[in-house]
Amino acid sequence: MEVNKKTGKRKKITTVALLALIVCLIVSSMFFFHLDRRLPGGTAIFYSPHPDDEVLSMGSGLLEALDRNEQVIMVLLSQGKASKAIDQVNERLLQEGYPPINAEEFGAARAKEFRESALQLGVKEENIYLYDLPDGSLNTEEIKEIMTSFAARYPEAVHHTMTYKDPHRDHAAAGKALQELKKAGIIRHTVYYIPVQEWENLKSLFNHVTKTPPSKLAGHQKALAAYKSWYPAGGRYAIGITSVPEYFEIIEGAYQSVWSKR
């Protein structure tokens, strides 16, 4: 009798311990998935509608991902040939005795600024992808195709881009593409960024602020500098800073990204 009682007790204890273990596992997995953006060693893919969005609005988020040792993939959607900054660049070139550049050369120079920014941020050369969708009329379906191909290659990746609430239609198209892919179940993890100039206007909709990690600040500054280099003989035309000087001022006063998961 005595022995049987003890065995019964032991059985009970084992059952309780098993139940506790199961509850622990469920709770920890919920926690794990809740913090999906913070998975160490995961992959983070950043889609930049134009050159400079990656360093102005998404830079701190990207640097935080690198700081967590995530693999970071950077995708440029459009070279940004429609920017009116080409007129200012050509004016300055003429003043300094250089011939003007055409839209193709302008686009190539912008892509060059993007590539250098990516490298300065700390992204590996082989993880930089350049597309040239038509600037000013980015098409949600075309962006979805690009995102779907990356989702297939990196099934558990977190996908980052500008928000579908962005007043700039190209940025909104990128956000909308990601939103639709999430709804369709093709992409699971999403992060949407608010552009620097809308931090005040759209503040209530965005609940996360990520600061540039201190150890990555120098990289952030060097990446911004990639958009300020004027060296016409080497095809460098300081296009980013010429195009949106006020945005550079905002980020250099804050070094942060403001984002939301949905």
Contact positions with Zn ion (CB under 5 A) in 52-111: 53
Identify whether the C-beta of residue 179 lies closer than 8 Å to the C-beta of residue 190.
yes
Buried b (16+ CB within 10 A) or exposed e, 144-177: bebbeebbeebeebbbbbbbbbbebebbbbbbbb
Q: Where are the beta strands (DSSP E) in the chain?
A: 43-48, 71-76, 128-130, 158-162, 189-193, 208-211, 230-231, 236-237, 256-260
Q: In angstroms, what is the minimal distance from the CB of 226 to Zn ion?
A: 15
Q: In angstroms, what is the minimal distance from the CB of 108 to Zn ion?
A: 18
Nearer to Zn ion (CB atom), residue 42 or residue 49: 49
Give the interface segment with Zn ion, choosing from 23-31, 51-59, 120-128, 129-137 (CB under 5 A). Answer: 51-59
Q: In angstroms, what is the minimal distance from the CB of 136 to Zn ion?
A: 10
Nearer to Zn ion (CB atom), residue 53 or residue 70: 53
Contact positions with Zn ion (CB under 5 A) in 11-50: 49-50
Nearer to Zn ion (CB atom), residue 72 or residue 172: 172
Q: Which two tokens stand for residue 255?
A: 């070094």
Name which of 260, 262, 255, 261 is nearest 63 in CA terms.
Answer: 255
Pairwise CA distance, residues 84 & 175, whole Å: 24
Nearer to Zn ion (CB atom), residue 48 or residue 190: 48
Could you say whether residue 166 binds Zn ion (CB under 5 A)?
no
Interacting residues toward Zn ion by CB under 5 A: 49-50, 53
